[in-house]
Amino acid sequence: MPATVVVGTQWGDEGKGKLTDLIAKEMHLVVRYQGGHNAGHTLVVDGESFALQLVPSGVLYDHITPVIGNGVVVDPFVLLKEIDTLERKGVDCSRLKVSGNAHVILPYHQELDRLTERYLGKNKLGTTKRGIGPTYADKSLRVGIRVQDLLDPKIFREKLEVVVGEKNKVLTKVYNRLPEDFEALADRVEAEVVPRLTPYIADTVSLVHDGLDAGQHVLFEGAQATFLDLDHGTYPYVTSSNPISGGACVGAGVGPLHINRVVGIAKAYVTRVGAGPFPTELFDEVGDVLVDRGREFGTNTGRRRRPGWFDAVMMRQAVRLNSLSELAITKLDILDTLETLKVCVAYDVDGVRHEHLPYHQSDLHAAVPVYAELPGWQQDLTTCTERHQLPPEAVAYLEFLQEQVGVPITFVGTGPGREQFVQFNS
């Protein structure tokens, strides 16, 4: 009954999709436990690219049941479109299960996300404008619509009418916008969503536990990342869910004793999209090299990601917050052309050295990275699939990261393709 969590250890886009797909072949169920279509997880298989937002990354394997857990927020229109796109590419999505307890993102959530960002002006968070925050807010306020509500037209209409009435007061009186048409929205959901979504709706907690009881391997696929976590990230520049590994317990309905492996995913450097502190951020031509070579533009939003050097201070915190048992380093090949590499080993805050993340966020804003410098390898890694093929400088860089972070590196990404990786330690 083992369970594994794949979790992002930086600010997202570390390559969780690729790693999930890579280790999913040994799994029976792959479960998303939080977030929504703010995620963009890319898989490249036989040269074909798949950009997944809501459907778990195990979907490409026939033997896997992909599960959208209760902790996810689901835009049903987006989910159905994603299923259509995958099926057009020959991917069978019929095994997909969606928790009846997951909350539903509706158009007014997206409108409120956009309006709040506009209202915040220069203080905006740079959200994906997918309605994630407003939907989780409704869940906490206990006025959210759950997937299971769609199965009962009377309950659905009753709940929707109440919540739309309240949203319309905000939309019209606070933001001077047009109200949402409750009847039209209810009709649209009943016509376009309910008949198609119903076959996928399930009691996913029982499904996961039946699997665990039968000795099946379950993989929990995190979206977003540790420093976008609502509680442990760089608040308020975070998402509205708990991506850390503990979030898998809440967002899928399993106790912590089921989880025996936590794979932290980190890029060989760091990127962040949206606003917020970023101590090792680069504003020079090295940053441009990382963005250009790494194609660091959002999978869904197309936004340029902010680049920076690998930050071991953040990683030590990620080890603590997630109980990382191993680390996968992705995109090592993006560093191929650089002569010298830097790794942040500590922060200097007003003359005080911090090897662990300072508790007060003002200190994080003031942190000056203390760097170690290592030689680059300046050769192409994209064909390396065995550890012995890596140049000595690349091995030294990885060993340095491993020593700094204190967790063994198992996988190393050398390209976007499913087969482009090295098993560094088994």
Phi, psi of 255 (to 5 degrees): -80, 160
Active site residue 109: no
CB 253 within 8 A of CB 202: no
Residue 302: which residues within 8 A CB-CB, separation 6 or more?
A: none
* 32-51 residues near ligand GDP, rule: CB under 6 A: 40-42, 44
Distance CA 360, CA 164 (A): 39
Indicate whether 17 belongs to the interface with ligand GDP (CB under 6 A): yes
CB 271 within 8 A of CB 308: yes
Answer for which of 73, 201, 334, 384 binds ligand GDP (CB under 6 A) is 334
* 254-273 residues near ligand GDP, rule: CB under 6 A: none
Answer for which of 4, 13, 224, 290 binds Mg ion (CB under 5 A) is 13
H-only helix segments in 236-368: 246-252, 285-293, 312-322, 361-366
Per-residue x/- track, 261-300, Mg ion (CB under 5 A): --------------------------------------x-
DSSP one-letter code for 388? G
Per DSSP, the three-state class of 8 is strand
Task: Look at residues 182, 276, 185, 189 and name the one whose alpha carbon lies nearest to residue 234.
Answer: 276
Which CB atom, from 139 or from 209, has the smaller least distance to ligand IMO?
139
* Cis status, amide bond into 236, omega within 30 of 0: yes
Which CB atom, from 274 or from 416, has the smaller least distance to ligand IMO?
274
Q: Which stretch binds ligand GDP (CB under 6 A): 114-122, 159-167, 232-240, 410-418?
A: 410-418
Answer for which of 40, 126, 179, 391 binds Mg ion (CB under 5 A) is 40
Indicate whether 179 belongs to the interface with Mg ion (CB under 5 A): no
93 makes contact, choosing from Mg ion, ligand GDP, ligand IMO, none, with CB < 5 to 8 Å by partner type, with none
Active site residue 232: no
CB 1 within 8 A of CB 254: no
**Residues acting as catalytic residues:** 13, 41
Which residues form the interface with ligand IMO (CB under 6 A)?
A: 8, 12-13, 38-41, 125-128, 130, 132-133, 223-225, 228, 237, 239-240, 273-274
